[in-house]
Structure 1
């Protein structure tokens, strides 16, 4: 075989999916994750030197795993057998652990624990955990999903993503949504500050001093946010927020507003307002697809950095904190970068639908 540095490394779709899964591992199988990232970088057309610089490793390591993959594909990334104590766990026991984990549950429970499965198979709990790690199994974890039933799913994805990746000329694009029922929570005891060796401590119970709704419009080009606090989020409140966006946007620009399918966004009072303001155009996200609205990413930052650990002794304190947060954000605003094309998103949804529509489901 010729010099591996001169051979193109091309991945099949299945190989890429497997490698991407391995590359995401953080706490287990670190060696395998690193090798997967090396191969994925090589498949992007980079040479060994460029891959080594990107992944902060040496060129010899990149060359070794590139060559091993070209020779043996995915099997080449596994560790070679090493000398040591003979194995005490048979292949049949490994298979039993994997099969029981995937196809059975213990009586009276929803999933296996390592101790329950160890007793059933006749090996140690540590061995069960090692097998789970080797096969990427985590029976204690669960995730939720929802496939949008929107009949216009594809059209709406193309519409919204098109505004992110190729916004119209002479136009402002805003990602808009409400964060309702933000609570002004006061802890029942003073927060104990962090000291060396001890994290910040707070009482688990609280006193609630009321709630407020926040309307937010994220300018996808600049990252700046227009915010408005309201006691409710009715159609008339949304209409008033559109007025606020209108006042703060250059009158010479068309305005594209991305929002979800809340009934208040489609109410007659809003429709009447839009007819009186023809420069505004509303674009609706697919049903159950808030992930495509960029302002949700901003709400996540607001929750993590302002609200989650905030202590507010009154509704006024909460409102002041929200206004200050928006002001601080806008002083150093930068836009979120959208990278996925509409075709990539649609292809991924189709692959996921294929998986959950198989015989096992």
Structure 2
């Protein structure tokens, strides 16, 4: 069918979400991910020729998968059954593998290995691995996460995300937090350099030369960081850091500060300082939701690119290294791009809570 006679391709909200997952999830087969990208581009109203150019395939390929999706929706993007040896693993056996993985653990262990589960269900470890991959199951992985019990969770998410996506006029927005107890660790042996085929190596033991607390304020518009050192992170130290921000921000601008719920941020010295500086407004993240504070993303860069592989013979050497890295960052600063709206974040939290609220949990 020519480009000028295309059948409109309309996608439902659920279909868009599933297709985006297929297109971005690393565990998805490359062919399925490519088809999902093609359909998403077609759903944006583009012609077959335009989609082919954007995705990097022929127009014939785009036409084929557009027609398959129109005829059979999401099912049409999956590979058709091919002739070959009959299946040796029944649907019942696949269901058993999935149910045992999700609802049981082996005796004396915290999670299944593919070999342990293969012995129980009577199939090969390779087959267990294929079933896990097909259903997106990864028993060996675990992530740290805690659902916020904050009664003002929705209001705070809307408040903070609103500052990121639609900052107020004539105002500066800063994400502020402390990285406490950064250790000055010196390896007990020299770091061995990287060689072809051999990564850099360092000793597992170390000598600690003290710790320092780092206060950081990330300007969400420019990406530049204001930093200060402290031997602790008490209310007076936070107040002094706010004073430092005040002196570095252009007069006449309102200042919005995103911070967490640490008691030091709400102590009387801070309240008194805020009363004396009315252009400052504090915005608190929900409890157990530091992921919404953009400065945490900057701390991750600091850890990965400066601290993780460093060896510091003294506290002064640690401070010098940190100051040098922060100067380099500010010379080429760029803001982090926030893309999720408050409604998208809240919807995702609700869907996750719904999924884990079944009888098995």
Does the TM-score normalized on the shorter chain lie above 0.5?
yes
Comparing 186-195 with 125-134, greater Cα deviation is found at: 125-134
Comparing 258-267 with 18-27, greater Cα deviation is found at: 18-27
Residue equivalent to 2:60 = 60
C-alpha spacing 1:49/1:185, structure 2 compared with 1 (3 Å): farther
C-alpha spacing 1:332/1:129, structure 2 compared with 1 (3 Å): same
Q: Distance in 1 between matches of 2:360 and 2:59?
A: 43
Aligned-residue CA RMSD in angstroms?
Answer: 2.2
C-alpha spacing 1:5/1:211, structure 2 compared with 1 (3 Å): farther
Q: Distance in 1 between matches of 2:62 and 2:180?
A: 50
Confirm whether residue 296 of structure 1 aligns to residue 296 of structure 2.
yes
* Pairs within 5 Å for 1:72-83: 72-83=72-83
Residue equivalent to 1:155 = 155
* Pairs within 5 Å for 1:236-315: 236-315=236-315
> How many residue pairs end up in the alignment?
361
Q: Is the 8 A contact 1:259 1:285 kept in 2?
A: yes
Q: Distance in 2 between matches of 1:181 and 1:306?
A: 15
1:163-212 Cα distance to aligned partner (Å, 9 max, x none): 11221111111111111111111111111111111111111111111111
C-alpha spacing 1:360/1:70, structure 2 compared with 1 (3 Å): farther
Q: Distance in 1 between matches of 2:103 and 2:336?
A: 42
Secondary structure of the 2:132 match is helix
Residue equivalent to 1:229 = 229
C-alpha spacing 1:122/1:4, structure 2 compared with 1 (3 Å): farther
C-alpha spacing 1:4/1:186, structure 2 compared with 1 (3 Å): farther
Q: Distance in 2 between matches of 1:3 and 1:56?
A: 17
Q: Distance in 1 between matches of 2:132 and 2:279?
A: 57
Secondary structure of the 1:309 match is coil
* Pairs within 5 Å for 1:189-204: 189-204=189-204
TM-score (norm 2): 0.93
TM-score (norm 1): 0.93
1:3: how far off?
8.1
Q: Distance in 2 between matches of 1:182 and 1:45?
A: 51
Confirm whether residue 130 of structure 1 aligns to residue 104 of structure 2.
no
1:22: how far off?
2.7
Confirm whether residue 116 of structure 1 aligns to residue 129 of structure 2.
no
Q: Distance in 2 between matches of 1:2 and 1:103?
A: 51
Secondary structure of the 1:223 match is coil
Secondary structure of the 2:51 match is helix
Q: Distance in 2 between matches of 1:317 and 1:227?
A: 17
Q: Is the 8 A contact 1:4 1:66 kept in 2?
A: no
Give runs of ≥4 in structure 1 deviating > 4 Å. 1-5
Comparing 348-357 with 217-226, greater Cα deviation is found at: 348-357
1:335: how far off?
1.1
1:4: how far off?
11
Q: Distance in 1 between matches of 2:83 and 2:5?
A: 31
Residue equivalent to 1:41 = 41
* Pairs within 5 Å for 1:165-204: 165-204=165-204
C-alpha spacing 1:357/1:102, structure 2 compared with 1 (3 Å): closer
Gaps of 5+ in 1: none
Q: Distance in 1 between matches of 2:174 and 2:187?
A: 36
Q: Is the 8 A contact 1:5 1:63 kept in 2?
A: no
Q: Is the 8 A contact 1:29 1:133 kept in 2?
A: no
Q: Is the 8 A contact 2:22 2:28 kept in 1?
A: no
C-alpha spacing 1:48/1:346, structure 2 compared with 1 (3 Å): same
Residue equivalent to 1:88 = 88
Q: Distance in 2 between matches of 1:314 and 1:63?
A: 64
Q: Distance in 1 between matches of 2:119 and 2:4?
A: 48
Confirm whether residue 215 of structure 1 aligns to residue 215 of structure 2.
yes
Confirm whether residue 97 of structure 1 aligns to residue 111 of structure 2.
no
